[in-house]
Amino acid sequence: MAVFLHSAEKTYSYEELMRYINTSSTYCPYFLSKDLYTYFANLIKALVTNQPVVLIDADSSPADMPYLDFALVNKPQEVGECSFKDMGELIEALCQSTSEITIFTSGTTGQPKRVVHSVATLARNVRRGEHYKEHVWAYAYNPTHMAGTQVFFQALMNQNTMVNVFGEPREVIYQQIERYGITHISATPTFYRMLMPFEKAYPSVKRVTLGGEKSDKQLYEHICKIFPNAKVNNVYASTEAGSLFAAKDDCFQIPANIRDKFRVENDELLIHKSLLGQSDSFAFDGEYYHSGDLIEWVNETEGLFRFKSRKNELINVGGYKVNPGEVEDAINAIEGVQQSLVYVRANSILGNIVVAEVKLVKGAALTDLEIRKVLASQLQDFKVPRKIQIVNELSMTRTGKLKRS
Amino acid sequence: MKEKVLEVINMIRVAKNLPLVESVTDNTRLREDLDLTSFDMAELTVRIEDEYGIDIFETGLVNTIGEIYAKLQK
């Protein structure tokens, strides 16, 4: 029978998964586990029995989640056994699930917000059918976050195999791609940057999806070299709304059937409440939610746009607004740079100043001054980081995004 | 400490393609004599803060090298 998951040197079949779902009589509404298989098994048990479930990051401590009673964590609750005859039946039950699924936003700043979703909103963009069988997914996201649930549903509903590569180093990721013949990867741009530089092509990969943060042209070129047979696309998903639209290259297209559910104000994308999960912390402006994502139209009548940055990420330097993503793009384009992180430091003269951490490609010998000179020739003066540190590793958040604080 | 201040100033001047200065005195003015803009002075504070843990502009404007020394000697 087909393999459900390869994780931490263990292999779990769909048969084993189904046996567990049928024979276990309990599940944990608040489940915290570093083991991906037991995490998924608990989630599936909750969904097929229509029970509420809260997705808790395996690295959470009580201090991270003051609104959660930690005494409840990993406390099993009786729900009774199931009697699914095959995976098809189990998946149908999953699709019909009325469970409330609580997800926390991962935001780079501030307290996490809780958002309640249903299978209907989370699996809105799952594609099923002959064409989607036999896919082998690299599981590269944090499983408790929106993007991770998207990959989970897409793979599970098609009985695909997942290979856990979340948090693994570069060599291990490449090994797993070859060993299991991974065909699909969905991950943050940061994940793909970690795979640079190009050393060898991996022809088994047919589809590469980027999500979660802005990515640049240079990264696309590298991805195309490493995965020469892959179609590359970008996905726009948020904890608030789930996956909304995907597109080719660096543009997104709002599907025609939901185009009237969006507005743009001061470059910010506004999403109609009918597309969102439930949360007390959403502040609506009439019927619309401010996404905080700044976009520019490429073709407004066709709903085609480009993602510019996060609104709250703009750095105010002595009254000038700096988009850290733009500065990172410029740094990443310099020969010898593997990855960069541009962030803000409080300053008594200008309010803030822009500083950067840069990770170089192995063997490259660039100095902070050389990087600054290149940037000075390309960017306005106020955008050039005033201090550039060459580092071995950049600081990252648990979602695999870069940490700007 | 005086050499360090000079080193930081030259670091900033190099990035602006200005010639290195050999020496500074207490009366050397940051803006007029060393051509430092407010952005450069912001950089100066960050670099000195990383070195000595002191924000030289925290309690008000600093105009000369001597005033920097004074802040660092407190």
Q: Output the domain CATH number for residue A375.
A: 3.30.300.30
Residues A14 and A121 in one domain: yes
User: The domain containing residue A348 runs over which residues?
Assistant: 314-390
Give the total number of structural domains in chain B.
Answer: 1
A306, A368: one domain? no
List the single best residue of A347, A370, A377, A380 to mutate versus B (max B Cβ within 10 A): A347
ipTM: 0.88
Identity of the residue in B39, B46, B57 whose CB atom sits nearest the CB atom of A345: B46
Share of chain A above pLDDT 90, in %: 45
Residues 26-55 of B with CB under 8 A from A: 38-39, 41-43, 45-47, 50, 55
How many structural domains does chain A have?
3
Q: Is residue A332 part of a domain?
A: yes
Select the residue of B14, B43, B58 nearest A348 (Cβ to Cβ).
B58
Nearest to B42 among A350, A372, A373 (CB): A350
**pLDDT top residue among A142 and A213:** A142
Identify the pLDDT of residue A248: 56
* pLDDT of A398 higher than 50: no
- Of the candidate ranges A47-56, A76-85, A176-185, B60-69, the one whose mean pLDDT is the lowest: B60-69
Query: With 0-12 CB in 10 A as exposed, 13-18 as middle and 19+ as buried, what is A132?
Result: middle
> CB–CB of B42 and A353 under 8 A?
yes
Domain assignment of residue A405, yes or no: no
CATH number at residue A41: 3.40.50.12780
Chain A hits for B42, CB-CB cut-off 8 Å, are 318, 347, 349-350, 353, 386
Residues A26 and A104 grouped into a single domain: yes
| DSSP calls for B8-74 | HHHHHHHHTTPPPPS---TT-BTTTTT---HHHHHHHHHHHHHHHS--TTTTS---BHHHHHHHHH-
Residue A359: which of A327, A330, A318, A393 has the closest Cα? A393
The string over A280-317, giving b where at least 16 C-beta atoms fall within 10 Å of a residue's C-beta and e elsewhere, is: eeeeeeeebbbbebbbeeeeeeebebebbbbeebbbeb
Q: Say how many CA atoms lie within 13 Å of B66 toward its Cβ.
A: 5
CA distance B24 to chain A (A): 22
Residues of chain A contacting B39 with CB distance shorter than 8 Å: 318, 350, 353, 381-382, 386
- pLDDT, one tens digit per residue, over A367-376 is 999 999 999 8
> In CATH, what number is assigned to the domain containing residue B61?
1.10.1200.10
Looking at A290, A311, A332, the residue that finishes a domain is: A311
- Do A98 and A198 sit in the same domain of this protein? yes
pLDDT one-digit tens code per residue, A23-36: 999 999 999 898 99
Contact check, Cβ <8 Å, A382/B55: no
Residues β-bridged to residue A27: A77
Task: Note whether A96 and A189 are same-domain residues.
Answer: yes
pLDDT value at residue A107: 47
What is the tens place of the pLDDT at every residue in A143-186? 988 889 999 999 999 999 999 999 888 889 999 999 999 999 99
In a shared domain, residues A349 and A296? no
| Residues of chain A with C-beta less than 8 angstroms from the C-beta of B50 | 387
Same domain, residue pair A299 and A328: no
pLDDT at residue A188 in the model: 82
pLDDT of residue A405 exceeding 70, the answer is no
Answer yes or no: do A378 and A331 share one domain: yes
When pLDDT is cut at 50, 70 and 90, the band that residue A64 belongs to is low
Nearest one of A355, A328, A325, A347 to A339, comparing CA atoms: A328
Q: Quick count: other Cβ atoms within 10 Å of Cβ A207?
A: 16
Taking only the tens place, the pLDDT of each residue in B3-22 is 899 999 999 999 888 999 99
Query: Is the domain of A16 the same as that of A42?
Result: yes
Question: Which percentage of chain A shows pLDDT scores above 70?
Answer: 91
The reply to whether A194 and A328 lie within a common domain is no
Tell me if B43 and A387 make a contact (CB, 8 A cut-off): yes
Nearest residue of B to residue A317 by CA position? B39
Region A211-219: mean pLDDT is 67
Tokens 């699909």, residue located: A184
pLDDT at A160: 97
More confident call, B63 vs A228:
A228
Nearest residue in chain A measured CA to CA from B12: A386
pLDDT above 60: residue A118: yes
Same domain, A376 and A299: no
Give the domain range for residue B12: 2-73
* Three-class HEC string of chain A: CCEEEEECCEEEEHHHHHHHHHHCCEECCEECCCCHHHHHHHHHHHHHCCCCEEECCCCCCHHHCCCCCHHHCCCCEECCCCCCCCHHHHHHHHHCCCCCEEEECCCCCCCCCEEEECHHHHCCCCCCCHHHCCCEEEECCCCCCHHHHHHHHHHHHCCCEEEECCCCCHHHHHHHHHHHCCCEEEECHHHHHHHCCCCCCCCCCCEEEEECCCCCHHHHHHHHHHCCCCEEEEEEEECCCEEEEEEECCEEECCHHHHHHEEEECCEEEEEHHHCCECCCCCEECCEEEEEEEEEEEECCCCEEEEEEEHHHCEEECCEEECHHHHHHHHHCCCCEEEEEEEEEEECCCEEEEEEEEEECCCCCCCHHHHHHHHHHHCCHHHCCCEEEECCCCCECCCCCECCC
